[in-house]
A and B are shown apart, each in its own frame.
Chain A
Amino acid sequence: MIEVKHLYKSFEGVPVLKDINTVFEKGKTNLIIGQSGSGKTVLMKCCIGLYEPENGEILYNGRKFNNASEKKRKNIREEMGVLFQGGALFDSLTVEENIMFPLNMFTKMTLKEKKERVNYVLENVNLSGTNEKFPAELSGGMMKRVAIARAISLMPKYLFADEPNSGLDPKTAERIDQLLHSLTKKFNMTTVINTHDMNSVIQIGENISFINKGNLWWEGTNKEIFHTNNPELNDFVFSTELTRRLKE
């Protein structure tokens, strides 16, 4: 469980997140939705410690993360897997070396154990046998899956994904969503996903946080989202012909 309390973050005096309070629940796919530029990425980067919030707290199972000592942060980082928007695979390393990277940094596993772990996570993302390939030799969807494999290689308790299915065809996008969902259940992770894809919202939106104008505007599940009267949320969710028809 991750708690976000009174989070405030601005850039050069312009507030992006004004007062965010929310809880990301364990064993669920928690979605952060909102318009482009609403601050989804900023919120996620505050959670994983790439940005320092000016105010507020982020608690991982009750443990403070921001304002904590470097050692405590490192302990929490060890339990964290992050999938960046573009995958952020190291292009000078092979798939196997990429997935081994966090294992090298955080564990004292033997080479054999590490190889076993690599094969295990690759199996979980349906990419067995691609160990020796370089990122440039993979398709966009495959890169995303390797990045997921790397993110889960430490068997994290917390998994973050920034727009995991953007730039993919609808079918591959859905596969990635389902993969994240099933991994969340399998490893009982607290998964946080940034998205503006309505398919994801409908498919895997177990706990949705809608960010608007720097505030948490609405919270609920993918069942509730169809029955709200919140005008801004309706405006965002039912912005396309398809979703409007779906509502009717």
Chain B
Amino acid sequence: MKYLREIGEYVLLMIQTLKKPEKWFIFRRQLVVNFKQIGTESIGIVAIISFFLGGIVAIQLAYNIDSPFIPKSIIGFSTRTMLVLEVSPTLLSMILTGKVGSRIASEIGTMRITEQIDALRVMGVNPASYLILPKIVASVLYFPVLVIFSIFLGLMGGYAAGAITGLVPPADYIIGVREWFAPFNLVYSMIKTVVFAFIIASVASYKGYSVKGGSVEVGQASTDGVVTANILIIIFDLILTQMLLT
């Protein structure tokens, strides 16, 4: 029952959000701010995590495929495939939920309890569109960039880990990374990323927007937003995978 009501509220909020902004120059200004907060400021964490994840994946593969009959290049190939299909789009999105989602929920939640959202409405602004739309647009546009960046750094991480440990000769790794490339995998990866970006930004916004009470509730909303978004990401990962890859 509670979930049904929440879904209803969420849908209504999204209808409010996806309306034409009142003033384009204000929307553009908000968009620039959000590109920075959601995208640019996430580059650091994306770089570190992706590099290490790539390394870990490569070493685990090397450890499991330790047979003289299987060419080492398989490790490069498999690392790439895993990064493109799952590690970068899904795992990274879930990590970014913690950063981006909690930030969005607490920012909007604080604006709610300090009456800033009421102030917007009184000034003739549609607060949903003013606050949430730029966050969704910024996420949907910037996340694919982050994920491609992540795939790239993950591959470098795999290369470095293979070379340093001596488990994967660099030349074999490079050959593997370039082998049997299926462009559709990248398309699939990008579709997932865009869906996840929308989920993170919209769910976190909804949780923040519907806060009632004080700072405790803002913290609660931020946690709720992250948990809900992560669960939805996994569910949609399964649905999209089923739809697109079978």
Contact = CB atoms under 8 A, between A and B. Distances in A.
Interface of A: 45, 48-50, 74, 77-78, 80, 82, 84-86, 88-92, 101-102, 104-106
Contact of B124 (A77, A88, A89): A77
B23 A86 contact: no
B123 A85 contact: no
B27 to A, nearest CB: 12
B22 A88 contact: no
A86 B114 contact: yes
Nearest to B116: A88
A90 B116 contact: yes
Given A49-B121, A50-B122, A102-B124, 5 more contacts: A78-B124, A84-B118, A92-B33, A104-B25, A105-B125
Contacts of A92: 33
Interface of B: 22-23, 25-26, 33, 111, 114-116, 118-119, 121-125
Name the residue among B22, B26, B119, B121 with the largest chain A CB count within 10 angstroms: B119
Contact of B122 (A49, A86, A91): A49
B240 to A, nearest CB: 34
Contacts of B26: 104-105
A83 to B, nearest CB: 9
A82 B118 CA distance: 10
B124 A74 contact: yes
Contacts of A45: 118
Prevailing SS type, chain A contact patch: loop
Contacts of B115: 84-86, 88
Contact of B118 (A74, A80, A88): A88
Contacts of A80: 122
Contact of B119 (A74, A78, A84): A84
Instruction: List the 4 closest A-B pairs by CB distance, nearest first.
Output: A88-B115, A88-B119, A84-B115, A82-B122
A74 B124 CA distance: 6
Nearest to A102: B123
A88 B114 CA distance: 6
Prevailing SS type, chain B contact patch: helix
14 contacts: A49-B121, A50-B118, A74-B124, A77-B122, A84-B118, A84-B119, A85-B115, A86-B115, A89-B116, A104-B23, A104-B26, A105-B23, A105-B124, A106-B123
Contacts, number: 47
A106 B23 CA distance: 10
Name the residue among B22, B25, B114, B118 with the largest chain A CB count within 10 angstroms: B114
Contacts of B122: 48-50, 77, 80, 82
A86 B110 CA distance: 12
Contacts of B116: 88-91
Name the residue among B33, B114, B116, B123 with the largest chain A CB count within 10 angstroms: B123
Contacts of B121: 49-50
Contacts of A105: 22-23, 26, 123-125
A45 B125 CA distance: 16
Contacts of A77: 122-124
B123 A101 contact: yes
A77 B124 CA distance: 7
A76 B232 CA distance: 42
Contacts of B124: 74, 77-78, 102, 105-106
Contacts of B125: 105
B205 to A, nearest CB: 15
Nearest to A85: B115
A94 B12 CA distance: 32
A46 to B, nearest CB: 13
A22 to B, nearest CB: 21
Contacts of A78: 124
Contacts of A90: 111, 116, 119
Name the residue among B23, B118, B124 with the largest chain A CB count within 10 angstroms: B124
A82 B121 CA distance: 11
B119 A82 contact: yes
A116 B210 CA distance: 37
Contacts of B118: 45, 50, 84, 88
Nearest to B107: A92
Nearest to B130: A105
Nearest to A92: B33
A140 to B, nearest CB: 13
B208 to A, nearest CB: 14
Nearest to B25: A104
